[in-house]
Amino acid sequence: MKRLVCAALFAFAHSASAEDTRIAAVFAGQQVEGTLVVSALSDGHSFIHGDARAAQRFACASTFKVFNTLIALEEKAITADSVLKWDGQPHDIPDWNRDQTLASAFRVSCVWCYQQMAARVGDDAYRRYIRDAGYGQLTEPFDTTAFWLDGSLQISAQEQVAFLKQVIRQQLPFSAGHYATLKAVMLAERTPAYALYAKTGWAARATPQIGWYVGYVETPDDTWVFATNITVRNPADLALRPALTKASLKALGILPGTP
C-alpha cells in the first residue's frame, strides 16, 4: 500500500501544471493566502495554485472525518443507522446540542460525536490505518480523541488529493458498503451538471489558523479531486473555503458558470 501511495504522489508531481493563473486570480480577488490542488481522476492532470504550500503539511482538522468515517464503520464503532446520544453538555455550536446520526454528525462536523467513535476505535487501529494509507504524518504519542484537532496528525493538500483518489477507487481495506455510506454522507450538492462531495476543516488551535475544503466533483466527463487550504484571518474567512474552491472550479471550466 505504501508503494501505491508513493507512486500516486510521484505521478501527481509529474502531471501538475505550473502555477495556474486562473486559480491565482480567484485567490487574489479575496486577498487570501492559501493553496488549491485540482486533479483529474482519469489521467492525473492537475492544476495548482501555490505549489510550495500544496506540499506543506498542516493539521488536518475535520477533514479527517472522511477517513475517520470509514475507519469507524469498519471497526464497528458506528453503523450507518446508529444514533449518538447527546449527554446534555452544551456546546458553542447549536447543531451539536442534540442526538446525532452518522450523516448529521458528518454534516455539522460534530466533534463530540467523532470523539465517541475514536474512543471505540483505539490507538492501534488508527496507527495501522493511517500508516497503510500514507495519510500525512502522525506524531507520537497522541491523544486518541483529539489527534486530528491538536496538530498531531498533519497532511498536505497534495496528500489529501492522493488519499481521496484511493477512496474513490476503493483501494483501501474497507467494505464496499462502507464506501457507499461515506459517499452518501459526503454529498454536498447535486445538480444536473455535477455532484459535489466535500468536507470542511478548521484547524482553530493552529497558529495561524488553517481552513480546509477537500473533496471531489463528478461530471459527465471526469471526476475532479480537490484540496484547498487557506490561512484564516478571522471567522468570516471560513465561508471562503468552499467559495474559493467553487469559483476556481468554475474558472477552470469544471463547474458551469462564471467565478
**Mean pLDDT to the nearest integer, 125-148:** 97
Q: Is residue 256 part of a domain?
A: no
Hunting for cell 483501501 — which residue is that? Answer: 172
User: What is the largest distance, in Å, between two alpha-carbon atoms of the chain?
Assistant: 51
Q: Is residue 257 part of a domain?
A: no
Question: Which residue, 109, 181, 187, is CA-closest to 149?
Answer: 109
Residue 10 banded pLDDT, cuts 50, 70, 90: very low
Give the chain's mean pLDDT: 94
pLDDT at 243: 98
**What pLDDT digit, counting tens, does each position of 200-212 carry?**
999 999 999 999 9
Residue 82 bears catalytic tag: no
Q: Is residue 234 part of a domain?
A: yes
CATH of the domain at 172: 3.40.710.10
Active-site residue, selected from the candidate residues 15, 17, 42, 62? 62
SS3 of the chain: the string is CHHHHHHHHHHHHHHEEEECHHHHHHHHHHCCCEEEEEEECCCCCEEEECHHHHCCCEECHHHHHHHHHHHHHHCCCCCCCCEECCCCCCCCCHHHCCCEEHHHHHHCCCHHHHHHHHHHHCHHHHHHHHHHHCCCEECCCCCCCCCCCCCCEEECHHHHHHHHHHHHCCCCCCCHHHHHHHHHHHEEEECCCCEEEEEEEEECCCCCEEEEEEEEEECCCCEEEEEEEEEECCHHHHHHHHHHHHHHHHHCCCCCCCC
**Percentage of the chain lying above the pLDDT 70 cut:** 93
**Mean pLDDT to the nearest integer, 110-125:** 98
pLDDT at 259: 86
Check: pTM over 0.85? Answer yes or no: yes
**What pLDDT digit, counting tens, does each position of 170-197 carry?**
999 999 999 999 999 999 999 999 999 9
**What pLDDT digit, counting tens, does each position of 74-89 carry?**
999 999 999 999 999 9
Hunting for cell 453503523 — which residue is that? Answer: 79
Q: Is residue 259 part of a domain?
A: no
Q: Is residue 139 part of a domain?
A: yes
| Residue 160 predicted with pLDDT over 70 | yes
| Residue 235 predicted with pLDDT over 70 | yes
Inter-residue contact 167 to 70 (CB < 8 Å): yes
Q: Is residue 168 part of a domain?
A: yes
| Residue 14 predicted with pLDDT over 50 | no
Q: Is residue 15 part of a domain?
A: yes
Q: Is residue 11 part of a domain?
A: yes
pLDDT at 170: 98
Domain count for the chain: 1
Tell me which residue range forms the domain holding 12: 2-251
**Mean pLDDT to the nearest integer, 6-26:** 68
Task: Determine how β-strand 153-155 pairs with β-strand 187-190.
Answer: unpaired
